[in-house]
Amino acid sequence: MPRLIRLFRSVVLFCATVSAAIAASVLPNAGFEEGLTGWVTRDTMSQVLAEAAHTGKAGLRITDADVKKGSDLTSAKLPVVAGQALTLTFSARAQGDFLGVYFWFHDAAGKAVKNDVFKHSGGLPSVGVKKGAGEWTPYALKATVPEGAVTVAVWIHSWGSATGTADFDDFEVTGLSAGAQPIIGVQPDVAVQAVAAAMPELSQRKAPPVIIIKLDDLRQIDGKVPGAWIKIAEFLKSRKIKGSFGVITQTLEEATPAYVQWIKDRHVAGEIEFWFHGWDHGVWTNEAGKKMSEFGGRTVEEQSARFARSQKLAVEKLGFAFATFGPPGGGSGSHQDEATAQVMARDPAMKVWLYPSPIDASGRKLAAAGKVAILDRVWAVNFESRVGSPDFGKFVEGYAKNPDREYFVLQGHPTHWAGARFDEFVKIIDFLTEQKAVFMTPSDYAASLGGKPAQQVAGGKQG
């Protein structure tokens, strides 16, 4: 009897193991924790980002802004047998009804096997991802493997005439045979291919450009230096590149020794210039009910008080006063005005103004006085095409249109640069390195001008 019981238990265990094997998903990198490994994309709309995660450390974000061409991301192929009942589950959140997830079956020759039952979706079983209130929603797609199909892949695709943004995570395919092994395709570097195909012709420059890296919004969080800032500082150091970090000074009031020391160490080493980026980066409402940025529309006295309070804290906590200013954004209208120019002229420590726009009359007047160097911007040449999103292709396009410009101030927000966004930033740095660019801090470049206004040496027409 004990032997029969053991045999019975073995049979039950074997059946359970087979059942589990059939039910288990073998879809590689189903949660995008390894970037796009195991997936093939033929567009530049698909990115793996930390902020797109439902579970784990990463998720997929599809950003479709092209009304002519949809996104195109395909998983590894999985072996199937006709008649199998498959189920795909995943989680998604979308800002619009513009894309779907499909089962794409193939025959032994690699040709698509379609079914007239699914004419509405090109012959492929699919589930549309619907717009929600920013909440994660579970989805399920069921299908029976058609005759002639030997593999299936998961396809995520947005429709050509619709645009939007959606996040995906936690894909799982069940109903496969025991021992099914994925067939992983080679991931083409479509971003590089797309840029290479559209790479504009670069004119011969008289001299390599000077690059001032302007990174915004450094402040301590929970008494610590945010990891994004540590990462960017270490990256710049590894490349022996100088940069500059804009400090929001309010958190200096309760700054921890660790946060203060981190800034001091880099300041003393000359690796990073830390500059004044506002007291609180706050938006305020003027008498007309209009939302304004911190230094937009306030009186000279109000702006001067914010400068003075911040400089006092910088000296007390960091051991130095800020020599460079870059106004924070937010609100509407200009982020600086004539009152700001007066404050800059009065502050004894201020020597450089990182102008957020091409220079105007107010900036030219201040620069002509000789106390403050104005380093203005070329809007088309920047790390980010929109706030938080570095864009190598657009950077190169703008760079090619400004061959006579001596220097560029490149702005960015590292706390938004997760995953593929940081990769885009690195591509820009690699490109500039190939261009033999000279990386300088704002103060170093201003000092190199010898008192001559930057606009006299900038050169070129801004494109």
Q: Residues 81-97: pLDDT tens digits?
A: 999 999 999 999 988 88
**pLDDT of amino acid 116:** 66
**pLDDT of amino acid 375:** 94
Give CA 387 to chain center in angstroms: 9
Name the pairing type of β-strands 59-64 and 164-174.
Answer: antiparallel
Strand extents, DSSP E, 137-193: 137-144, 151-158, 164-174
**pLDDT of amino acid 42:** 72
**pLDDT of amino acid 311:** 98
**pLDDT of amino acid 191:** 46
Q: Is the pTM of this model over 0.85?
A: no
- pLDDT tens-digit readout, 355-376: 887 788 888 888 888 899 999 9
Q: What is the DSSP letter of 40?
A: E
**pLDDT of amino acid 25:** 61
**pLDDT of amino acid 117:** 61
Torsions phi, psi of 324, nearest 5? -130, 145
- pLDDT tens-digit readout, 48-85: 888 889 999 889 998 887 656 778 888 989 999 999 99
% of the chain residues with pLDDT over 90: 55
- Mean pLDDT throughout 146-161? 87
**pLDDT of amino acid 277:** 96
Label residue 321 exposed, middle or buried (CB < 10 Å: 0-12, 13-18, 19+).
middle
SS3 content of the chain, % helix, strand, coil (to 5): 30, 25, 45
- pLDDT tens-digit readout, 382-396: 999 888 889 988 999
Q: What angle do CA 423, 428, 431 make, to 5 degrees?
A: 125
Res 110 pLDDT > 90? no
Nearest Cα to 142, choosing from 173, 171, 99?
A: 173
**pLDDT of amino acid 4:** 42
**pLDDT of amino acid 457:** 54
Cα gap 51→371, rounded to integer Å: 43
Burial code (b: 16+ CB inside 10 Å, e: under 16) for 182-216 equals beeeeeeebbeeebeeeeeeeeebeeebbbbbbbb
Cβ atoms < 10 Å from Cβ of 314: 20
**pLDDT of amino acid 17:** 39
pLDDT category at 463 given cuts 50, 70, 90 is very low
Residue 274's beta-bridge partner residues?
245
Cα gap 407→454, rounded to integer Å: 9
Structure tokens at 334: 């200009």
Burial code (b: 16+ CB inside 10 Å, e: under 16) for 45-84 equals bbbbbeebbbeeebbbbbbbeeeeebbbbbbbbbbbeeeb
Contact in structure between 359 and 379 (CB atoms under 8 Å): no
Instruction: Considering only residues 217 and 7, tell me which one the structure prediction assigns the higher pLDDT.
Output: 217
**pLDDT of amino acid 301:** 97
- Range from 177-191, 239-253, 415-429 that averages highest in pLDDT: 239-253
Instruction: Considering only residues 184 and 41, tell me which one the structure prediction assigns the higher pLDDT.
Output: 41
**pLDDT of amino acid 20:** 38
- pLDDT tens-digit readout, 403-460: 999 999 999 999 999 878 888 899 999 999 999 999 999 999 999 988 776 655 555 4
Look over the chain and give the mean of its residue pLDDT values, rounded to a whole number: 85
Q: Domains of the chain, with CATH numbers? A: 24-188 (2.60.120.260), 198-458 (3.20.20.370)
Res 264 pLDDT > 50? yes
**pLDDT of amino acid 168:** 95
- pLDDT tens-digit readout, 125-139: 889 998 876 789 999
Cα gap 105→118, rounded to integer Å: 13
**pLDDT of amino acid 120:** 54
- Mean pLDDT throughout 196-212? 81
- Sole residue written with tokens 């299908």: 143
Cβ atoms < 10 Å from Cβ of 367: 23
Kindly report which listed range (11-20, 258-267, 278-287, 351-360) carries the lowest average pLDDT score.
Answer: 11-20
Torsions phi, psi of 106, nearest 5? -135, 150
Res 5 pLDDT > 80? no
Cα gap 397→380, rounded to integer Å: 8
Instruction: Considering only residues 21 and 198, tell me which one the structure prediction assigns the higher pLDDT.
Output: 198
- Mean pLDDT throughout 10-21? 39
Label residue 19 exposed, middle or buried (CB < 10 Å: 0-12, 13-18, 19+).
exposed
Contact in structure between 241 and 430 (CB atoms under 8 Å): no
- pLDDT tens-digit readout, 290-314: 999 999 999 999 999 999 999 999 9
**pLDDT of amino acid 400:** 93
- pLDDT tens-digit readout, 316-359: 999 999 999 999 988 777 888 899 999 999 999 999 999 887 78
**pLDDT of amino acid 458:** 57
Residue 73's beta-bridge partner residues?
41, 156
Res 240 pLDDT > 50? yes
Res 18 pLDDT > 60? no
Label residue 164 exposed, middle or buried (CB < 10 Å: 0-12, 13-18, 19+).
middle
* Contacts of residue 227, Cβ cutoff 8 Å, sequence gap at least 6: none
